[in-house]
């Protein structure tokens, strides 16, 4: 696994002077061992590589050198693929440097029903796995010019939700030149072989990692022992193990990331630690600036902001998917600038942006899983490695520490063996489910065009699934997709039906499309809640947490609804909970389009601003997809209603505001303000410029009037 530690001067790279200058401006004068090893293995000659090395070991620069040298020698385009939108933004900002030597850089994510033809003018394109998969289905010409793919965070192959998409992208990308990157792959030789790439694995980290397990002493209250990997130990005193080690690290000028297994635990732990932060030397002026930034953010509930302000003023914050992206961005940036000293987060942070800390404390090795009796399961080793990988800030720390908290000494030995002394779980295919496999085949036919069963099977055999499983799923998939009118067989050639092609282009799951089609075909026009409930009930629908109290309330609401739902109430327990979940989503979205205040929605349904944003984005995509499918199926009773609902979901507005929100800079609040003051459409905006300025302020008002005039001209 380990390679000899060699460093290489950047002047020794076969790259143009201007490229070397860009590296120098970033403060890079030599390549570290993983980077040097990649160059020795032919990175700059376009050799296909799978590189696994720890977090923070400079894999992004390896990707940049691979892309730049390939484009300089062979031309064409390069695509860099990440699993998360946040990473897409981060990489895009980094890669913009290369525009100085003539490579145009673009990024794209989100909107799945487009071919992004504008990208034909760009050389380096940063995107997500889902977006690339959807682009392939639309077959834009510019994609044929891409001959170099960088697959980042390849261990997402093991993610039950995202793995199937990562795998289908890898299957196509490996037909061209590729570079795959990951911090954690134990079976890297097997995966390298699968990708036809040479595996380069190193253990080198810029900041050495010290790992340990911490447990309470039985006989001494408030005393904890930490056993480290090198068999040394350390005693820590305090009221609580997490607080004790956090304060210990802060006293050594560290920053701390604490991981808890639920949002509730993350928030309550942050409050507990906050009570001890008055002993810490804080940048009070800097923290006051961060608190002020929260006021300038539109996204986010008032309660969330007030809670965060009280914590941030003490140098600590919590971080989870319930917070809006803007709030999370402020917290992350303040931590990078070392103003916030402690973040208590759920494990989603470990998989996301680059946010190193001196100390990482893993507060729970268990997590909640409804499908398991007792509801608790131990986290995978992979998840521990992702979290511990955040320990150690290059440039600030000589070491990083990752500490797991356990209940007692007996647990400590077992946890030590499992998480610290063993390798991560091997990567395996996640295409082994009907939902994943059928979507995979539909996507292949959409991207590659008509082909015989034999040709399609050849693609399927290129997956990581064992051949015997491919055989089982393949026949089932062809039968199901044919029976449900997604594909048709003409002789021995498989071709997508118009409906099948539309489903593939919309990037929805075929099971989702089937549920929507049945729901719409079996009923005449329906009420708003019925449409939302139908869409939220599909495999692509958003999931929210529903407490047992809410379950009773929601069941009563269903009974009192003056509206026939498009889905019959199921008998199975699993289906029943999905049915109720879908109802909660439907009611949230109904309130949203009735312009109920965001704070009221968050309080009424006990969700966070990040949850609301996620629900709105998903339902925007699903209402758009349902409208497009109803058009394809010529279901006239539904498509006008769905089109208007889709427009309303996007902005959270009543129908009367649809014209005003077309103006950029006008959202639900400003549109309502204008409307209530007699400015009801584009014409009113143009006819009453002074009134618009007095309502919105002169600078924004001026912009809005100009934009309204531009829109009116376009319509006429």
448 burial (CB, 10 Å; 0-12 / 13-18 / 19+) is middle
- Residue 386 CB contacts under 8 Å (≥ 6 apart), including other chains: 55, 183, 184, 347, 350, 351
Of the candidates 330, 348, 327, 353, the one whose C-alpha atom is nearest the C-alpha of residue 602 is: 327
Of the candidates 355, 412, 418, 415, the one whose C-alpha atom is nearest the C-alpha of residue 387 is: 355
Positive or negative, the Cα torsion across 691, 692, 697, 698? negative
Query: Which structure tokens are listed for 565?
Result: 């739902």
Query: Which structure tokens are listed for 64?
Result: 């940049």
Q: How far is CA 124 from CA 19, 46, 60, 90, 274, in A?
A: 15, 16, 14, 14, 44
CA pair distance 454, 491, nearest whole angstrom: 13
558 burial (CB, 10 Å; 0-12 / 13-18 / 19+) is middle
What is the SS3 assignment for 95? helix
CA pair distance 670, 640, nearest whole angstrom: 26
562 burial (CB, 10 Å; 0-12 / 13-18 / 19+) is exposed
Number of H helices, E strands in the chain: 29, 22
At 143, give phi and psi (nearest 5°). -65, -25
Q: Three-state secondary structure along 400-421?
A: EEEEEECCCHHHHHHHHHHHHC
- 628 labeled part of a ligand binding site: no
What is the SS3 assignment for 705? helix
CA pair distance 193, 472, nearest whole angstrom: 24
Helix, strand, coil percent values for the chain (each to nearest 5)? 55, 15, 35
Of the candidates 493, 596, 252, the one whose C-alpha atom is nearest the C-alpha of residue 393 is: 252
Of the candidates 460, 383, 413, the one whose C-alpha atom is nearest the C-alpha of residue 164 is: 460
Q: At what angle do helices 636-651 and 528-536 cross, to 10 degrees?
A: 80
Q: 497-522 burial, b for 16+ CB within 10 Å, e for fewer? A: bebbbbbbbbbbbbbbbbbbbebbee
By the 8 A CB rule, do 165 and 82 touch? Answer: no
- Which amino acids are annotated as binding site for ATP, given as ranges? 35
- Which amino acids are annotated as binding site, given as ranges? 35
């Amino acid at each position: 696994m380990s390679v000899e530690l060699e460093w290489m001067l950047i002047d020794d790279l076969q790259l143009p002077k201007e490229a070397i200058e860009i590296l120098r401006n970033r403060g890079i004068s030599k390549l570290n061992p993983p980077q040097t090893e990649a160059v020795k293995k032919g990175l700059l000659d376009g050799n296909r590589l799978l590189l696994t090395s720890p977090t923070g070991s400079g894999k992004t620069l390896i990707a940049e050198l691979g892309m730049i040298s390939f484009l300089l020698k062979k031309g064409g385009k390069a695509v860099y693929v990440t699993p998360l939108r946040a990473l897409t933004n981060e990489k895009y900002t980094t890669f913009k440097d290369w525009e100085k030597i003539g490579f145009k850089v673009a990024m794209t994510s989100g909107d799945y029903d487009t071919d992004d033809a504008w990208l034909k003018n760009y050389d380096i394109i940063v995107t997500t796995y889902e977006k690339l998969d959807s682009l392939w289905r639309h077959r834009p010409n510019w994609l044929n010019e891409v001959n170099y793919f960088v697959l980042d965070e390849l261990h997402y192959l093991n993610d039950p939700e995202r793995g199937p998409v990562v795998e289908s992208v890898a299957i196509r990308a490996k037909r061209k030149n590729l570079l795959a990157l990951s911090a954690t792959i134990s079976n890297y030789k097997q995966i390298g072989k699968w990708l036809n790439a040479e595996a380069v694995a190193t253990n080198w980290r810029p900041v050495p990692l010290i790992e340990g397990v911490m447990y309470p002493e039985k006989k001494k209250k408030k005393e904890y022992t930490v056993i480290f990997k090198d068999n040394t130990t350390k005693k820590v005193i305090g009221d609580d193990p997490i607080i004790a080690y956090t304060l210990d690290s802060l006293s050594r000028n560290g920053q701390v990331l604490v991981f808890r297994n639920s949002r509730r635990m993350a928030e309550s732990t942050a409050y507990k630690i906050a009570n001890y932060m008055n002993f810490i030397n804080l940048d009070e002026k800097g923290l006051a600036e961060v608190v002020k930034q929260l006021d300038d953010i539109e996204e986010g509930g008032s309660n969330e902001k007030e809670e965060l302000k009280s914590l941030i003023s003490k140098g600590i914050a919590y971080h989870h998917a319930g917070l809006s992206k803007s709030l999370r961005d402020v917290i992350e940036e303040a931590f990078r600038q070392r103003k916030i000293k402690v973040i208590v987060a759920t494990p989603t942070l470990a998989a996301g942006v680059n946010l190193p800390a001196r100390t990482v404390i893993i507060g729970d090795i268990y997590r909640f899983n409804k499908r398991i009796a007792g509801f608790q399961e131990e986290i995978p080793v992979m998840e521990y490695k992702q979290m511990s990988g955040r320990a150690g800030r290059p440039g600030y720390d000589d070491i990083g520490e990752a500490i797991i908290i356990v209940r007692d000494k007996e647990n400590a030995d077992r946890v030590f063996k499992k998480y610290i002394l063993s390798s991560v779980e091997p990567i395996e295919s996640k295409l082994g489910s009907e939902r994943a496999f059928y979507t995979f085949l539909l996507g292949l036919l959409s991207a590659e065009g008509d082909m015989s069963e034999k040709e399609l099977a050849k693609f399927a055999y290129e997956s990581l699934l064992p051949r015997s499983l491919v055989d089982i799923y393949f026949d089932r998939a062809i039968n199901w997709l044919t029976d449900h009118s997604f594909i048709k067989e003409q002789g021995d050639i498989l071709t997508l039906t118009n409906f099948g092609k539309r489903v593939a282009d919309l990037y929805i799951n075929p099971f989702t499309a089937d549920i929507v089609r049945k729901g719409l075909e079996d009923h005449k026009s329906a009420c708003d809640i019925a449409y939302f409930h139908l869409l939220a009930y599909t495999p692509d629908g958003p999931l929210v947490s529903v407490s047992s109290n809410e379950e009773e309330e929601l069941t009563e609401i269903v009974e009192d609804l003056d509206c026939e739902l498009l889905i019959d109430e199921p008998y199975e327990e699993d289906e029943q909970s999905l049915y109720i979940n879908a109802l909660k989503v439907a009611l949230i979205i109904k309130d949203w389009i009735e312009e109920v205040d965001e704070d009221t929605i968050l309080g009424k349904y006990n969700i966070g601003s990040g949850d609301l944003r996620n629900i709105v984005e998903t339902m925007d995509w699903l209402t758009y997809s349902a409208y497009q499918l109803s058009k394809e199926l010529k279901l006239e009773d539904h498509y006008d209603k769905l089109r208007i609902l889709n427009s309303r979901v996007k902005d959270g507005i009543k129908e009367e505001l649809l014209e005003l929100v077309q103006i950029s800079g006008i959202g639900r609040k400003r549109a309502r303000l204008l409307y209530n003051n007699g400015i009801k459409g584009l014409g009113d905006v143009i006819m009453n410029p002074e009134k618009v300025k007095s309502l919105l302020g002169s600078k924004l008002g001026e912009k809005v009037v100009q934009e309204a005039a531009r829109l009116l001209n376009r319509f006429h």
